[in-house]
Amino acid sequence: TIISIILFIISAILSMRIYEKKESM
């Protein structure tokens, strides 16, 4: 469904941001 795809994209973006924060630290 479209909702599941949107949730998947949001989770991917959030995980990438968290990964970048860990790299910066």
Break the chain into its structural domains and give their ranges.
Answer: 1-25
Indicate the average pLDDT of the chain: 90
Q: Is the pLDDT of residue 25 over 90?
A: no
Cα–Cα distance for residue pair 6/3, rounded to 1 Å: 5
CA-based max dimension of the chain: 37
Output the pTM of the full model: 0.58
Residue 3 banded pLDDT, cuts 50, 70, 90: very high
Residue at 14: amino acid letter = L
CA-to-CA separations, 25 to 4, 5, 14, 22, in angstroms, rounded: 32, 31, 17, 5
